[in-house]
Amino acid sequence: MENILQISHLNKSYNGIPALKNVNLSVRAGEIHGLVGANGSGKTTLMNILFGQPVIHETGGYQGEIAFAGRRIEFKNCSQAISCGIGMVHQEFALIPDLTVAENIKLGREHTLAFTDRLLGRQFSYIDNRHDRASSLQALRKLGIELDPDIKIMDLSINLKQFVEIAREIDRTDLRLLILDEPTAVLSQDNSWMLLEILREMSGRGIGILFISHRLEEIQAVCDRVSVLRDGELVARYEKNHIHINQLARDMIGHSVIKAAAGKRKIEARPLITFRKFSVAMPGEEIKNLDLNVYEGEIIGLTSLPGHGKLALGYGMMGLYPVAGEVWFNNERIVRMDAMDNIVKGIYALPDDRQGLGILADQSLENNIVFTANQAKNMFSRSSLFPFLSMLDHRRTVPHVEKMVQDFDIKCASFKQKVRELSGGNQQKVCIARALTAEPRLLFVAEPTRGVDISAREKILSMLIEINRTRNMTIVFASSELDELQRVCDRIAVMVQGKIFKILSPDSPEVDFALALSGETGMDDDV
Amino acid sequence: MKAKAPLNCYFNHERIVPAVFLVLSFLAWQISGLTGSFVLNQVITRFIRDGLLVLALIIPVVAGMGLNFSITVGAMAIQTSLLLVIAYNIEGVPGILLVMVIGIFLSVLLGYVLGRILNRVKGKEMITTIIIGFFVNSIYQLIFLVGFGTVIPVFNQEIILTRGIGVRNTVDLGMYRNTIDKLWLFSIGEIQIPLFMILIVLLFAGGIYYILHTRFGRQVQAVGSAAETCAVLGIDTDRVRIKVMILSTVLAALGQFIYLQNIGMFDVYTAHLNTGIISCAALLAGGASIKSAKVRQALLGIFLFHTLFIVSPQAGQHLFRNAALGEYFRSFVAYGTIALALIVNVGNENRPIQRK
């Protein structure tokens, strides 16, 4: 069969940091080509290049050659890709919330009244809603669901949105290559298999399919070939019948060098915080009925695929999203999630959205470090009759900030420098320093090393270990970087669909983690 | 949450605001002591005067750009063209057509520039359009205060100040008056119905409705709902927004022309100043918001808002024996409507979206 897509020697870097290194990949017409890789392995970048996302062009384009149906292509925007016959099912859904199901499915390909088409041209011809509704119903039926095409997208649940997203691409008649980014992540088992059936049928019609999934079982079942990406490189490729789940999991993670690492130990203390049927309604990252004990003095890791809830725990404790269920902290029930109350009690949460919620970007380094401690506990104010009116006491803040800057190796021009001007890694260190200044007993951190270079990453990890060991601070460490969690944590909880799926020891084989992350119990056919 | 849902359906701003206006207008009309036919005649006149200006606001709202206060720019475009044509003494129907052609040309140009500007300030369109309106106003005043008679030669001495430079405060449009207003005019009892003009407004209303139901309209809706997602779906957001602004500005220009020729004379330096505020308030009175607007809301809004607008000074005079209070009440109504709409919308925006 001919290659519909041929990628050769593809290189892409963001600000000098390579995201893809010499990738060669081809998709034949009528083939289902699987693509697997851990978070940050470059899958998204590859998709963005193929679909002509503007972000690629804006960050300096790419090197290498991509041929589509024998013609060399270099898309500058998505509409070029779409008009070539490339379709994409986006992981985050490219759906317009205020439009209805039918309007979304037919967007850009609406049936119009032929009469106005001739009279006023394509752009200004009247849309035939009845026709659109009927054909979108047909596309949805192919997926095996009955859905009122007049419901607005924003009123749909997440798995129905996924169906609409897929239906939009199925409905296209000009499709030649379909890219699916984690289409089954939010679907139930049955629905997933139904989708795989449809993909098989589509590939039978000669459509090339690039299928990305974390569910290795599906990859094994449906793909003709599978390629594995790791750290921007293509490390393995298997033909059908040679695809083994454990092998794929091993290839995805690779062999990592152990760097900053905590000594192994067993924590048998009393629970410091207990969650019972705890739910957090954070859109896209919901926690549902989570039960978890966090022991005093431990570092517990939280990991999951995106959207399965690892980030929401800290946000829930800060009261940023509605919560339900019971939380017992230090044998005392927390009734109301209020950030200030919780900080006073000794709970501090560092969010993953560092720019938006972590730092006070236009304030000085000094103010950033002492801000929370001073607001919550009035630790750095001059004594006065009305504490809330008193001025910051620089004789006390300066030595403290000095110590923090030294301890954590924060690189700055002066204490008065605006935090906005610091690098991402240093901003994160400032965040942790601020958390420490408030002297919490329990610290939630989320993705502290995201977008941080390697040396700063190691520094941040060793900071976390150090504050845990020297100050007996309990840490809940949510991250998608499994390798970091294994180095730092005493236990690692793997979350699937907002619940704790399995709690693993950091020494567990990596295959176990890969299986747990994809929600599989680990009993396998090819062992 | 579930129990509340049906209540929200019936008691949202789409229904509450028009209902409040209806009650207020009725009460004010009772107090004012004006006859029903007088009020109705006035409302019909204002429906024609203001119709297109209000309709010009719909598409920008749907495109997520909020209330386009810069329809004053379109108004100034047509006034410029009007003054130019009067300055060269072109009368009658050819004059009207020429005014239209120049006005549309100018407003397409200005609409394009506005679109480009608004693409740079996404999310802050409303405040930008207000300020641009003020800014263009000062350029406009400069041109007609200083430019006419110096840089621009004038062949019609009637519109020039006695010193020979600058346009008079008020220019008579006698040469265009009653050319289209009185077409197909008939009366039912005391009520006069200029059918032709009403049909013109309804035609444009139909046109807006039509545009919103075309492929282009769908794109406008998509851009208004989720601009970032549109790029992924192959829609050029910036181009759509520019087209929207051009459409809106042209409509505003035509609307202002109907407005001026209906009044029969115009205040060169002030006629356009309140178009933005009044039109926006009328649209909102019909139940539209800065996030969603429909043609029927515009039509309903014009009726409700102007009814209150007409009867409130009289009502003020009867209640407080003071006409100035009624005048005050007019601006209270206009600005109050807009302020309320802004607060309601911002409040809705901040509410977490959890509708499962």
> Which residue among B210, B229, B236 places its CB closest to the CB of A95?
B229
What local confidence, expressed as pLDDT, does residue A360 receive? 85
Show the DSSP H helices in A322-471 as ranges.
339-345, 365-377, 394-408, 424-437, 454-471
Question: Which one of A79, A91, A98, A151 would you mutate to disrupt binding with B, by most B Cβ within 10 Å of its Cβ?
Answer: A98
Question: Which one of A76, A78, A96 would you mutate to disrupt binding with B, by most B Cβ within 10 Å of its Cβ?
Answer: A96
Q: Model confidence over B281-316: pLDDT tens digits?
A: 999 988 888 888 999 999 999 999 999 888 888 888
Q: How does residue B3 score in pLDDT terms, banded at 50, 70 and 90? A: very low
Strand, helix or coil for residue B274: coil
Chain B CB contacts of A157 below 8 Å: 356
Q: Which of residues 323-352 of B touch A (CB under 8 A)?
A: 352
What local confidence, expressed as pLDDT, does residue A242 receive? 85
Beta bridge partners of A33: A210, A225
| Average pLDDT score, chain B | 86
Assess B228–A contact: CB distance below 8 Å, yes or no: no
Question: Which one of B214, B219, B349 would you mutate to disrupt binding with A, by most A Cβ within 10 Å of its Cβ?
Answer: B214
Residue A501, CB half-sphere, CA atoms under 13 Å: how many? 23
What local confidence, expressed as pLDDT, does residue B296 receive? 92
What local confidence, expressed as pLDDT, does residue A255 receive? 54
Across A81-115, b (16+ Cβ under 10 Å) vs e yields: bbebbbbbbbbebbbbbbbbbbbbbbbbebbbeee
pLDDT for residue A60 is more than 50: yes
pLDDT for residue B353 is more than 50: no
**Pick from B35, B143, B66, B18: nearest CA to B346:** B66
Q: Which residues of A have a CB under 8 Å from any CB of B?
A: 51, 53-54, 77-79, 81-83, 88, 90, 94-99, 103, 107-108, 110, 112, 116, 120, 122-127, 129, 154-155, 157, 281, 283, 321-322
What local confidence, expressed as pLDDT, does residue B147 receive? 86
ipTM of the complex: 0.82
Residue B310 forms part of a structural domain: yes
Q: Which residue of chain B is at minimal alpha-carbon distance from A83?
A: B234
CA distance B9 to chain A (A): 14
> Which residue among B222, B234, B354 places its CB closest to the CB of A96?
B222
CA distance B352 to chain A (A): 9
Say which residue, B119 or A436, is predicted with more confidence: B119
Show the DSSP H helices in A233-392 as ranges.
245-253, 312-317, 339-345, 365-377
Say which residue, B142 or A192, is predicted with more confidence: B142
Q: Which of A24-33, A162-171, A427-436, B243-252 has the lowest mean pLDDT?
A: A427-436
Residue A173, CB half-sphere, CA atoms under 13 Å: how many? 4
> d(Cα A287, Cα A276) in Å, to the nearest integer?
12
Question: Whose structure tokens read 């072109």?
Answer: B90
DSSP structure class, residue B177: T
> d(Cα A341, Cα B109) in Å, to the nearest integer?
57
Q: How does residue A69 score in pLDDT terms, banded at 50, 70 and 90? A: confident
pLDDT for residue A133 is more than 80: yes
> Which residue among A95, A124, A154 places its CB closest to the CB of B216?
A124
Instruction: Decide if A98 and B226 are in contact by the 8 Å CB cutoff.
Output: yes
Beta bridge partners of A275: A292, A327
pLDDT for residue A146 is more than 80: yes
Highest mean pLDDT among A170-174, A184-188, A283-287: A170-174
What local confidence, expressed as pLDDT, does residue A338 receive? 86
Alpha-carbon dihedral of residues A98, A104, A110, A113, nearest 10 degrees? -40
pLDDT for residue A463 is more than 70: yes
Say which residue, A452 or A10, is predicted with more confidence: A10
Q: Which residue of chain B is at minimal alpha-carbon distance from A81?
A: B234
How many other C-beta atoms lie within 10 A of the C-beta of residue A79? 17
Residue B349 forms part of a structural domain: no
Q: Model confidence over A252-267: pLDDT tens digits?
A: 766 544 466 667 777 7
Full domain range(s) for residue B338: 17-344
Q: Which residue of chain A is at minimal alpha-carbon distance from B216?
A: A123
Tell me the average pLDDT across A84-91.
Answer: 90
Our CA angle for A401, A405, A407, nearest 5°, is 115
> d(Cα B273, Cα B270) in Å, to the nearest integer?
5
Q: How does residue B12 score in pLDDT terms, banded at 50, 70 and 90? A: low
Q: How does residue B178 score in pLDDT terms, banded at 50, 70 and 90? A: low
The CA radius of gyration of chain B, in Å to the nearest whole number, is: 21
Please give the tally of structural domains in chain B. 1
Instruction: Decide if B233 and A78 are in contact by the 8 Å CB cutoff.
Output: yes
What local confidence, expressed as pLDDT, does residue B149 receive? 81
What local confidence, expressed as pLDDT, does residue B2 receive? 34
Say which residue, A16 or A404, is predicted with more confidence: A404
What local confidence, expressed as pLDDT, does residue B10 receive? 56
What local confidence, expressed as pLDDT, does residue B78 receive? 94
What local confidence, expressed as pLDDT, does residue A453 receive? 62
Strand, helix or coil for residue A185: coil
What local confidence, expressed as pLDDT, does residue B11 receive? 58
pLDDT for residue A193 is more than 60: yes
Alpha-carbon dihedral of residues B343, B349, B353, B355, nearest 10 degrees? 50
Instruction: Decide if B352 and A283 are in contact by the 8 Å CB cutoff.
Output: yes
Q: Model confidence over A295-322: pLDDT tens digits?
A: 988 999 998 887 788 888 888 888 888 8
Residue B7 forms part of a structural domain: no
Instruction: Decide if B236 and A79 are in contact by the 8 Å CB cutoff.
Output: yes
pLDDT for residue B264 is more than 80: yes
- Contact present, B284 and B341 (Cβ < 8 Å): yes
Residue B306 forms part of a structural domain: yes
Residue B35 forms part of a structural domain: yes
Highest mean pLDDT among A143-147, A501-505, B76-80, B83-87: B76-80
Element (H, E) at A278: strand A271-280
Q: Model confidence over A31-49: pLDDT tens digits?
A: 999 998 876 678 888 988 9
What local confidence, expressed as pLDDT, does residue A521 receive? 65
Assess B222–A contact: CB distance below 8 Å, yes or no: yes
Question: Which one of A77, A107, A285 would you mutate to disrupt binding with B, by most B Cβ within 10 Å of its Cβ?
Answer: A107
pLDDT for residue A505 is more than 60: yes
How many CB pairs (< 8 A) connect A and B?
Answer: 89
User: In chain A, what percentage of residues exceed pLDDT 70?
Assistant: 94
Q: Which two tokens stand for residue A174?
A: 């000009």
Assess B233–A contact: CB distance below 8 Å, yes or no: yes
β-strands A474-478, A442-446 pairing:
parallel
> d(Cα A33, Cα A179) in Å, to the nearest integer?
10
Q: Which residue of chain B is at minimal alpha-carbon distance from A78?
A: B234
User: In chain B, what percentage of residues exceed pLDDT 70?
Assistant: 92
How many other C-beta atoms lie within 10 A of the C-beta of residue A66? 18
What local confidence, expressed as pLDDT, does residue B5 receive? 41
CATH number of the domain at B337, please: 1.10.3470
Say which residue, B183 or A130, is predicted with more confidence: A130
Q: Which of A46-50, A113-117, A153-157, A386-390 has the lowest mean pLDDT?
A: A386-390
CB < 8 Å & 24+ apart, contacts of A399-408: A400/A369, A400/A370, A400/A437, A401/A365, A401/A366, A401/A369, A401/A370, A404/A369, A404/A433, A404/A436, A404/A437, A405/A365, A405/A433, A408/A432, A408/A433, A408/A459, A408/A463
Say which residue, A159 or B112, is predicted with more confidence: B112
What local confidence, expressed as pLDDT, does residue A1 receive? 61
**Pick from A291, A371, A367: nearest CA to A339:** A371
- Contact present, B156 and B243 (Cβ < 8 Å): no
Instruction: Decide if B233 and A127 are in contact by the 8 Å CB cutoff.
Output: no
For chain A, domains (ranges, CATH) are 1-85+174-255 (3.40.50.300), 98-173 (no CATH), 271-517 (3.40.50.300)
Assess B239–A contact: CB distance below 8 Å, yes or no: no
What local confidence, expressed as pLDDT, does residue A452 receive? 67
Instruction: Decide if B234 and A123 are in contact by the 8 Å CB cutoff.
Output: no
> d(Cα A278, Cα A136) in Å, to the nearest integer?
39
> d(Cα A168, Cα A106) in Å, to the nearest integer?
7
> d(Cα B50, Cα B279) in Å, to the nearest integer?
7
Q: How does residue A168 score in pLDDT terms, banded at 50, 70 and 90? A: very high
